[in-house]
């Protein structure tokens, strides 16, 4: 299942989504996951919920049918038709002017503040989750920064922190693993650099895909950094545990749909960037990789 949430700010749209894919029999490892937000064009972002195979087929078909610069009304009509009679849901966001639509059951609805798709228990957990605090094991996540954002940075950081808390929520078992954050910047969409600190030496995940947190009773913090492609409108992300020197590289053919995940062990930022490029052909944006 999926959880994707989009927020409309003045002159900006931000989309948060998880990466976990749950097979029919349950479970689902990190490397079976994918990015559930992608870009039809630099100015159009789409997040999906439902069957990932059907979503990939729809997204590629949309590009083949409407071209690399699809029109506003044609794009909405295409996904209305695709969702009719299925359980597929989409969030469709346009960068300029900023407009957000939820598409389900063959119908599109415009939203002016927030929209979501996916798992109802996941969304209810997000609604009930407060900003992370320190103390209990469940509250060890703490958002450090989201960027580059000239506006709305504090608000987006708080949303990302709450979303990560949701991925750890005991009632949100169908969502999990990593959180991607995409935003419209300067008239086009891109993924953002997100730095999270958490108090745990663990790089392990349990069978629900949630991090195994092992507080040690000291002030040591560990980092998870997401690094996006340098170019706008490219579907790909690196999620790097900088202290463990362990990274997960999400990519896909032609940067159109990131449904592959590769595990990388690296020695430093240069080594990580090199390996990620060899895997994906994508030049990723360097982020603060200070080892802790």
- Average pLDDT, integer, range 255-268: 91
If 0-12 CB within 10 Å is exposed, 13-18 middle and 19+ buried, where does residue 279 land?
A: middle
List the domains of the chain with CATH numbers.
3-280 (3.60.20.10)
Which range scores top for mean pLDDT: 35-44, 215-224, 237-246?
Answer: 35-44
3-state percent breakdown (helix, strand, coil) of the chain, nearest 5 = 25, 35, 40
pLDDT tens track for 32-78: 999 999 999 999 999 999 999 999 999 999 999 999 889 999 999 99
Q: What is the pTM of this model?
A: 0.88
pLDDT tens track for 146-188: 887 878 888 998 899 889 888 877 787 788 889 999 999 989 9
pLDDT at 138 over 50: no
């Amino acid at each position: 299942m999926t959880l994707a949430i989009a927020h409309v700010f003045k002159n900006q749209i931000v989309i948060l989504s998880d990466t976990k894919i749950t097979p029919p029999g349950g479970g689902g490892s990190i490397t079976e996951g994918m990015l559930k937000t992608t870009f039809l064009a630099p100015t159009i972002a789409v997040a999906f919920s439902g069957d990932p195979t059907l979503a990939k087929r729809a997204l590629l078909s949309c590009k083949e049918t409407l071209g690399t610069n699809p029109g506003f009304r044609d794009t909405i009509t295409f996904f209305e038709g695709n969702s009719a009679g299925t359980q597929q849901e989409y969030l469709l966001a346009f960068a300029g002017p900023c407009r957000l639509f939820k598409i389900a059951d063959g119908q599109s609805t415009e939203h002016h503040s927030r929209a979501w798709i996916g798992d109802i228990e996941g969304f209810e957990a997000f609604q009930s989750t407060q900003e992370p605090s320190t103390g209990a094991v469940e509250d060890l996540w703490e958002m450090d920064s989201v960027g580059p954002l000239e506006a709305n940075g504090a608000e987006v950081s708080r949303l990302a922190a709450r979303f990560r808390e949701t991925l750890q929520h005991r009632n949100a078992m169908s969502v999990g693993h990593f959180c991607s954050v995409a935003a419209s910047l300067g008239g086009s969409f891109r993924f953002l650099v997100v730095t999270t600190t958490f108090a745990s030496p663990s790089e392990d995940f349990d069978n629900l895909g949630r991090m195994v947190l092992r507080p040690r009773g000291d002030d040591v913090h560990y980092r998870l950094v997401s690094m996006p492609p340098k170019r706008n409108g490219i579907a790909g992300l690196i999620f790097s545990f900088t202290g463990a020197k362990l990274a997960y590289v999400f990519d896909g053919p032609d940067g159109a749909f990131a449904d592959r995940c590769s595990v990388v062990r690296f020695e430093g930022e240069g080594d990580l960037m090199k390996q990620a490029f060899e895997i994906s052909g994508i030049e990723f944006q360097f982020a603060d990789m200070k080892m802790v």
